[in-house]
Structure 1
Amino acid sequence: MSAPHLPKVAGIDPEVPVSTQTAAPLREIPAAPGAFIQDRLAGWVSDLTTLHELTERLAATATLDAALNELLHAGAALVGARRGLLVLERAGTTTPSTTLGLGLGPADLGHLETVERSATALGRVLDGPPDAADARDGIATPDLLGDQDLDPRHREVATRLGYAASYALPLASEAAGRLGGAVWFYDEPGEPSEKQRHLVGLYARYATEHLARLTELERARADIATVADELLPSRLPRIPGVRLAARHRTGPQGGGDWYDALPLPDHALGLAVGSVGGSGPSAMAAMGRLRASLRAYAVMEGEDPVAVLSDLELLLRLTEPARTATALFAYCEPAARKVVLAGAGHTPPLVLGDRRCEYVETTLSAPLGMLACWEAPSVEFSPAPGETVLLYTDGLLRRTGDAMDRAFARLHSAAAYVPKADRHDPAAVTDHVLRAMLPDGLDQSDSTEDVVVLAAHFD
């Protein structure tokens, strides 16, 4: 008689023997197969996002000083340091053209300069061969005070300033070459990780290209400013009974605003301001020709400002028919305190003193180059003793960013509130007006407008 079969239950095969071993309880949930890769990708995305944000902030800088400050701060954040030092050098020289510190005062920078250049990591990345490994990876000194071969003076300075490690990196790229170097200081022994070195290296190469562009731009602006200054009076004349002061700022592209002051026969004085349309080298060259021509006409017939501007109009129309310009010329007799002026499309002068502050009412006229024949009546007025006549170009008004009527009101208010102690000094008057009109300074880099202010104080 055969043994009875066990009943079948869905999902269980009664023929398969049951194991007597009990499996260990599941204490941890196993990680998904791609979790490690996902973590790595998340880290890379975070690093690239940080690098992108830092490079965008650097790209937004418009001046060399702002870019250098941003580079020092961003580099310190990338390598985990608190202080740093950056040096720019002109090509072919070993003299720093720019030295900037982060978390280091002037005295600290002075102490660092006493260390021999070759004894520092920064000096080695600055002076080493461009194709050396240091030029690519930088130099890490993880324990300065523990280095037995450290220069004694360097050890003394490091102890005084309280840093124990450093990481130096050259500012170099294939296109720009080597512009300089940067070093960041650690308060405790340590060095940046491989990932930090990679990120700061990428950032430094981009920063080098940006610095090279800004360096060339600032050099070009400096050249333009030099040329513009050479086209204007090198000094103001000394005429009995009147004292002069002038302020001038050329836009970054070079503009056509100008001024002049020249002695005339019989102890007279000619004052002129003007503006040529356009910007760049062409406008600067036209400005130089216009000013030179006005000087010649003023010497011949300066007592008649209308004739001077009429001759200037004819010259401009014949030689540069596509050019327009504004100009104002004033013939002054300081001894008689008499001023005769004429303007061609130019802003009116402002007279300020202890008893009045008002614009001179001039005849409305078109700019030079816009009429077949220019002529407008002249205006005569008498400044009282102690009063100052302020001539300026419309760039001063436009730089405020206000509508013209509001800008005129601001200029009037600025002149009216010149302190009494400064009203007899034309230089102090011009400086006060500029500070009131342009609180951010005359040399702000984000404006393309030229500015000219010429002040004549009558004793």
Structure 2
Amino acid sequence: MLDIPSSVRVDVEALLAAQNHMGVCDAIEQYAPVGKPDTMTAPHFPKVAGIDSTVPPPAHTVAPAPPAPAPPSSPGAPGAPGALIQDRLAGWVSDLTTLHELTERLARTAVMDDALHEVLRAGAALVGARRGLVVLEPADGLGPDTTVGLGLARADLGHIETVPRGATSYGRILDRTDGTGEPEVHADLLSEDGLDPRHREVAARLGYAASFALPLATQAAGRLGAAVWLYDEPAEPVERQRHLVGLYTRYATEHLARLLELERARTKSRTIAEELLPPRLPRVAGVQLAARHRTGPRGGGDWYDALPLPEGALGLTVGSVTGSGASAVAAMGRLRASLRAYAVMEGEDPVAVLSDLELLLRLTEPARSATALFAYCEPALRKVVMAGAGHSPPLVIGERRTEFVETSLSAPLGMLACWEAPSVEFSPEPGETVLLYTDGLLHRTGDPMDRAFARLHAAAAGVPRTIRDDPGAIADHVLHTVLPDGLDAADSDEDVVLLAARFE
């Protein structure tokens, strides 16, 4: 055993505190490439900063060999055994702190696109590159397939995609059948023998001279894709950099696999919800229709419908079932289908339609409640008879007025032993649009309900005159004005439905 003088013994805890005090985390904020000595790796890391030191190096990397023993020297000399051990521990702590910070950043991403960009930035810092791209192409063939770039515009990615797949680093990784996880290293592309001419042309045009590519694959997650980092000059990462980026990509692959599973579940839920809604709106003389629908990530129970009725009449309805997810979507589909049947039988009496729907809800969905609004329209007479159950009042938007329809207060369906509320009748003027919507439009604003209603009214009153004859444009204007800055498309538990009917 090596006898280390007490004056040079290393206190690991003090070393950790010193490392954090010296601003390692601040350096990571800028994604600066790691710059510690190459002798940082040992077969077993100490468990530091939340990183499990027992994780073995990935199959495609090899830990650097320990340095040759230095000749004996005095304890205070730079090459003394104590100083070497201290340097090695400092390198380990720095690298593990780096991995901890980068994986923490990645763990905070909740959307696939954000996670892919984070993987590219972190990998570029670890291997000392400036640009790169990630190709997401799950091996099961179920998608989604996408390509994300770092420091590369969409046109640049298009140029890279013109290179034959078999001549690219990511293409060779994705087309492997042996399941190996070896990296693709091209230290000097432009002088490489046998390089595809198109690849050489694209590399010269985009100004990169070397590349380093890794598969995004683990035994548990399978193969998800490949990441490629590009160097402006001939270069390649050293063994220590390869080892660090290999550990990072293993963790990143597991995180991406979880996001992929979540994204697929959300897509299925949205698809089912969309299929349960009308594929197209009917054409009825005297009225123009348009609808907008935004589904939350877990799928909600908001619906809309427009159906032709006897004698040229038209039935319009919007509503919302409590809850979210697959069960709420299924309940929404059952209620909407039943409401269509009730509307055909007694649509001229909206109160009877909602009373029948309330009875069905209590018998078949006793644990749920729902809000609903049904309007019986006679376009030739510009007459609308409407009843609502706990639903927000519609808006009438015209040249001379923008106002909410006065509807009576009523409880949602399924809340009382017997629901009943009076109907209201109003007559829109020629060129006016009746806008029906669900409460999700108001809830997504994050404002109290009185302020949300005021925002909705202001958005409707501000519809430009040039688009007032287009119900679709009116709906778009209201949606993007009430929910600016992408709130209409952001993940939310609230669905949003708008149904606009312009009377001629």
Regarding TM over 0.5, the answer is: yes
Structure 1: 5+ residue stretches without partners: 1-27
What's the CA shift for 1:89? 1.2
Kept after mapping to 2: 8 A contact 1:249/1:442? no
User: SS in structure 2 opposite 1:62?
Assistant: coil
User: SS in structure 1 opposite 2:191?
Assistant: coil
- State the one-letter code of the partner of 2:194: D
Matches within 5 A, 1:20-99: 30-31=77-78, 33-92=81-140, 97-99=145-147
1:274 is the counterpart of 2:319: yes
Q: Distance in 1 between matches of 2:362 and 2:171?
A: 60
For the structure 1 residues 296 and 96, does the alpha-carbon distance in structure 2 shift closer, same or farther, using more than 3 Å as the test?
A: closer
Q: Distance in 1 between matches of 2:105 and 2:203?
A: 32
What's the CA shift for 1:79? 0.6
User: What is the match of residue 139 of structure 1?
Assistant: 184
Q: Distance in 1 between matches of 2:358 and 2:141?
A: 50
User: What is the match of residue 173 of structure 2?
Assistant: 125
Mean alpha-carbon deviation: is it higher for 151-160 or for 304-313?
Answer: 151-160
What's the CA shift for 1:177? 0.9
For the structure 1 residues 279 and 169, does the alpha-carbon distance in structure 2 shift closer, same or farther, using more than 3 Å as the test?
A: same
Deviations 1:316-351 (A, max 9, x none): 122222221111001111111111100011111111
Deviations 1:66-110 (A, max 9, x none): 111111111111111111121111325599921122222233223
User: What is the match of residue 24 of structure 2?
Assistant: none
User: What is the match of residue 60 of structure 2?
Assistant: none
1:218 is the counterpart of 2:266: no
User: What is the match of residue 4 of structure 1?
Assistant: none
Deviations 1:177-223 (A, max 9, x none): 11111111111111111111111111111111111111111111111
Aligned partner of 1:389 among 427, 434, 453? 434
Structure 2: 5+ residue stretches without partners: 1-74
For the structure 1 residues 452 and 225, does the alpha-carbon distance in structure 2 shift closer, same or farther, using more than 3 Å as the test?
A: same
Q: Distance in 2 between matches of 1:96 and 1:266?
A: 47
- State the one-letter code of the partner of 1:161: L
For the structure 1 residues 318 and 110, does the alpha-carbon distance in structure 2 shift closer, same or farther, using more than 3 Å as the test?
A: closer
TM-score (norm 2): 0.82
Q: Distance in 2 between matches of 1:158 and 1:321?
A: 65
Q: Distance in 1 between matches of 2:388 and 2:364?
A: 21
Q: Distance in 1 between matches of 2:199 and 2:411?
A: 69
1:449 is the counterpart of 2:494: yes
Kept after mapping to 2: 8 A contact 1:63/1:445? no
TM-score (norm 1): 0.90
Identity of aligned residues (%): 76
- State the one-letter code of the partner of 2:77: P
Divergent runs of 4+, >4 A: 92-96
- State the one-letter code of the partner of 2:412: P
Matches within 5 A, 1:365-444: 365-441=410-486, 444=489
What's the CA shift for 1:170? 0.5
Q: How many residues align?
A: 430
- State the one-letter code of the partner of 2:457: H
For the structure 1 residues 94 and 188, does the alpha-carbon distance in structure 2 shift closer, same or farther, using more than 3 Å as the test?
A: farther
User: What is the match of residue 328 of structure 2?
Assistant: 283
User: What is the match of residue 3 of structure 1?
Assistant: none
What's the CA shift for 1:151? 2.6
User: SS in structure 2 opposite 1:42?
Assistant: helix
Mean alpha-carbon deviation: is it higher for 367-376 or for 34-43?
Answer: 34-43
Deviations 1:136-192 (A, max 9, x none): 4x1221111222232333222222222111101110011011111111111111111
Deviations 1:246-274 (A, max 9, x none): 01111111111101111111111110011
Q: Distance in 1 between matches of 2:455 and 2:260?
A: 36
Kept after mapping to 1: 8 A contact 2:444/2:487? no
Q: Distance in 1 between matches of 2:245 and 2:317?
A: 55
- State the one-letter code of the partner of 2:325: G
Matches within 5 A, 1:106-121: 106-121=154-169
Deviations 1:372-393 (A, max 9, x none): 2211111011111111111011
What's the RMSD between the two structures over aligned residues? 1.9
User: What is the match of residue 350 of structure 1?
Assistant: 395
Q: Distance in 2 between matches of 1:326 and 1:399?
A: 17
For the structure 1 residues 140 and 96, does the alpha-carbon distance in structure 2 shift closer, same or farther, using more than 3 Å as the test?
A: farther
Deviations 1:107-138 (A, max 9, x none): 32232223222223222222224543xx14x1
For the structure 1 residues 265 and 94, does the alpha-carbon distance in structure 2 shift closer, same or farther, using more than 3 Å as the test?
A: closer
Aligned partner of 2:148 among 96, 100, 108? 100
Q: Distance in 2 between matches of 1:191 and 1:300?
A: 75
Structure number with bigger Rg: 1
Kept after mapping to 1: 8 A contact 2:350/2:386? yes
Kept after mapping to 1: 8 A contact 2:480/2:488? no
Q: Distance in 1 between matches of 2:242 and 2:418?
A: 70
